[in-house]
């Protein structure tokens, strides 16, 4: 299975007519870059000489950033703190022309920040500042109202769960109801909210670890050929029954993707990556590309192929990254 260049160009040509709402955990990804030439005399740790530092939108924001990079319209709904980090994140989002009208700012709640210290191209350590969001009843009602308003003109919705407290059953149900009224597809990138019900999804995109966890099964380890991996295929069957998505896409890292649909045999899409520097945010790129393509009229397999190629682009970059429409089409043009 492989998408033709002409088909890819036709689908990508409709990206700018789509608008994707990303609902979930908003984060600021901060990077400190430098080089290491010695070990500290104080402790057996490297001494980093800092060259530069920068921040980019992370978590659910990175999904929206990927949608924008591919040419689609994007907005986010979630929670940030009334702090300098929250202001910095909102400023970055607005600069990228990502809608922030549905972002709730909470006093006393810290904006989630992930700081990665990088020596040359090697990540040395990651430092996280976070606390699960806890909305009062009034704040939850206000968030639901903002979600309803945010759905105007939306052609696809992504539920992006990083386990930081934004996605509750009420939020999931509100998104499903609003999307159903508008005929918009809904995609899910799950974490560890095992009690949440997600029935009726268009796309569910867990990675292997998440898939086994949500199925309640122990992973015995991957097989070389995913189509001969009985445990993986069984998990796919369990999740098709549990979530009832129209398409289940299990990302498998270096082994590509496993696609499963109700009533059809599963299919394997091999990885399209040529060089891997960093897997940070690759899953965000996959769901952003796939949902944007579905909204643009692509069938599931064409959407999955485009998402797989887009992931091949971003894993060749360092840090939380995006794939542009031009990069995607150029990368696909170089396929074997």
Query: Is position 284 annotated as part of the catalytic site?
Result: yes
| Residue pointed to by tokens 């599963």 | 266
pLDDT, tens digit (0-9, with 9 covering 90-100), for 107-163: 989 999 999 999 988 899 999 999 988 888 888 888 888 888 899 999 999 999 999
Contacts of 33-40 spanning 24+ positions with Cβ under 8 A: 33/118, 34/117, 34/118, 34/119, 35/119, 35/120, 36/119, 36/120, 36/124
The secondary element (H helix, E strand) that includes residue 249 is strand 247-251
Question: Cα–chain-centroid distance for residue 57?
Answer: 12
**What pLDDT, on a 0 to 100 scale, did the predictor assign at position 244?**
95
**What pLDDT, on a 0 to 100 scale, did the predictor assign at position 278?**
47
Query: Which residues of the chain fall below pLDDT 50?
Result: 1, 277-278
**What pLDDT, on a 0 to 100 scale, did the predictor assign at position 1?**
47
* Cα radius of gyration rounded to whole Å, the chain: 20
Kindly report the pTM of this predicted structure: 0.92
| 208 exposure class (CB count in 10 Å sphere: 0-12, 13-18, 19+) | buried
Q: Which domains does the chain have, with CATH numbers?
A: 5-27+57-111+132-333 (3.40.1190.20)
Tell me what percent of the residues of the chain surpass a pLDDT of 70. 96
Order of all β-strands in the sheet with 186-189: 98-106, 73-81, 19-24, 156-160, 186-189, 203-204, 247-251, 257-261, 264-269
**What pLDDT, on a 0 to 100 scale, did the predictor assign at position 279?**
60
207: DSSP letter: B
Please state, in angstroms and rounded to a whole number, the distance separating the CA atoms of residues 220 and 171.
34
The secondary element (H helix, E strand) that includes residue 139 is helix 137-150
**What pLDDT, on a 0 to 100 scale, did the predictor assign at position 135?**
82
**What pLDDT, on a 0 to 100 scale, did the predictor assign at position 317?**
81
Residue tagged active-site, from 25, 29, 189, 284: 284
228: DSSP letter: G
**What pLDDT, on a 0 to 100 scale, did the predictor assign at position 56?**
95
Read off the tokens for 321.
Answer: 């990254």
């Amino acid at each position: 299975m492989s998408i033709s260049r002409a088909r890819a160009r036709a689908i990508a040509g409709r990206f700018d007519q789509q608008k994707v709402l990303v609902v979930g955990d908003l984060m600021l990804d901060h990077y400190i870059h430098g080089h290491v030439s010695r070990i500290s005399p104080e402790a057996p740790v490297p001494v980093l000489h800092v060259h530069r530092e920068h921040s980019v939108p992370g978590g659910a924001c990175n999904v929206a950033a990927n949608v924008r990079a591919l040419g689609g319209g994007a907005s986010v709904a979630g929670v940030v703190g009334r702090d300098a980090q929250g202001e910095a994140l909102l400023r970055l989002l607005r600069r990228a022309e990502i809608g922030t009208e549905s972002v709730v700012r909470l006093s006393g709640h810290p904006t989630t920040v992930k700081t990665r210290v990088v020596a040359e191209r090697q990540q040395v350590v990651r430092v996280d500042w976070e606390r699960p969001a806890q909305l009062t009843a009034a704040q939850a009602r206000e968030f639901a109202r903002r979600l309803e308003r945010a759905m105007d003109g939306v052609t696809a919705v992504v539920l992006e769960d990083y386990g930081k407290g934004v996605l509750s059953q009420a939020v999931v149900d509100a998104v499903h109801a609003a999307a159903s009224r508008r005929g918009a597809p809904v995609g899910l990138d799950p974490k560890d909210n095992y009690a949440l019900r997600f029935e009726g999804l268009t796309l569910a995109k867990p990675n292997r670890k998440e898939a086994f966890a949500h199925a309640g099964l122990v992973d015995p380890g991957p097989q070389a050929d995913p189509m001969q991996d009985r445990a993986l295929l069984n998990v796919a069957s369990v999740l098709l029954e549990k979530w009832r998505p129209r398409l289940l896409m299990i990302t498998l890292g270096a082994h590509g993707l496993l696609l499963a649909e109700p009533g059809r045999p599963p299919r394997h899409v091999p990885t399209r990556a040529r060089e891997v520097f960093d897997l940070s945010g690759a899953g965000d790129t996959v769901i952003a590309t796939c949902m944007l393509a579905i909204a643009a009229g692509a069938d599931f397999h064409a959407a999955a192929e485009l998402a797989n190629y887009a992931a091949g682009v971003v894993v060749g970059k360092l840090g939380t990254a995006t794939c542009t429409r031009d990069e995607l089409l150029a990368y696909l043009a170089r396929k074997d």
